[in-house]
Structure 1
């Protein structure tokens, strides 16, 4: 089946697979080209820089993970319900065990190693993509006039911090109802970035 794909699609598939195997990997263009079965020239034609390749990979992964974010446009529902639904989509793939493994990987990949410029750049690209998705949701709500006054970027950062905290809570051995506390927390967070209705 991959024989029928164009070279750009082959490159993205290979790079996404490699990123899934090791999120801290800088995605060496040579190794991505080899895995995709394309020449370096072909890879550079589609992705002139390593940053362009990484950005395309993150956008592809995020679009696949959050394709259901169209709920943010469903104006038949209150804005706060739509925003909470979209935020919950980020948490949805993480059951307790997956959340624990994700945090272990995050720590091993980005906390334990020496903080080099390369590591900072890699992590920044991941964080920027998460922020970009939340900013998109907030822009939709802003056009409807329901987003509270304030810096959109700061509000998106706040919501991502809430999501990080909730995913960490899932990873910890708690005995309380995670779903109940998550729902309450997500609604508090949504209320903080939306105008009073």
Structure 2
């Protein structure tokens, strides 16, 4: 029996090669080497399949990197962590758009998971005196406004260097020297 992970690998391969629009139950089933009826047991509707693939494309494991390393500039530490949220490639941008479309402009679980990491990073920096603790929630929202804007920009005109420069600018404005 083919596992869900094997089906997802096949679907992600198709999405990476041809975009999310290429995903159909029949094409993914063929790529996974299973009958379409078997795939429907794992994903009852094509929308379920596309949603799972889009979520995986938009999901990014977030590491705390050196956020707690007080020997480094706080804006640089924050920038490095936030840079993990930038789109890695066109498939990630497409996955982000698909999630927005499917969940009424809320990127759902992937973004909520990212928000927890951003909150943790900003809380660490607030504990080091680089921003006011009561500003953390507002800065989490601001970080996602910037990141979502960068995804929109990437869909129109991909420029990772410009996205990084914008994110660096944001990080420099969020943190301040210790008080």
TM-score (norm 1): 0.56
CA shift at 1:28, angstroms? 1.4
Quote the Cα distance in structure 2 between the aligned partners of 1:121 and 1:60: 11
Correspondence for 1:188: 169
Give 1:75's aligned residue: 68
Gaps of 5+ in 2: 127-134
Change (3 A) 1:159 1:91: closer
Which aligned pairs between 1:97-108 and structure 2 lie closer than 5 A? 102=90
Task: Write the mapping of 1:46-125 to structure 2, written as runs, cut at 5 A.
Answer: 46-63=42-59, 66-67=60-61, 69-72=62-65, 74-76=67-69, 80-89=75-84, 93=88, 102=90, 124=101
Where does the alignment leave 5 or more consecutive residues of structure 1 unmatched?
95-101, 110-119, 172-177
| Aligned length in residues | 160
User: How far 1:14 sits from its partner (Å)?
Assistant: 1.2
Q: After TM superposition, give the deviation of residue 46 of structure 1 in Å.
A: 2.4
What does 1:1-197 correspond to in 2, within 5 Å?
A: 6-25=2-21, 27-63=23-59, 66-67=60-61, 69-72=62-65, 74-76=67-69, 80-89=75-84, 93=88, 102=90, 124=101, 128=107, 131-132=111-112, 134-144=114-124, 146=126, 148-150=136-138, 152-153=140-141, 155-162=143-150, 164-165=152-153, 168=157, 170=159, 178=161, 184-192=165-173, 194=174, 196-197=176-177
Runs (4+) of structure 1 moved beyond 6 Å? none
After superposition, the CA RMSD in angstroms is 4.1
Shift in CA distance, 183/20, structure 1 to aligned 2, threshold 3 Å = closer
1:71·1:82 contact (CA, 8 Å) conserved in 2?
no
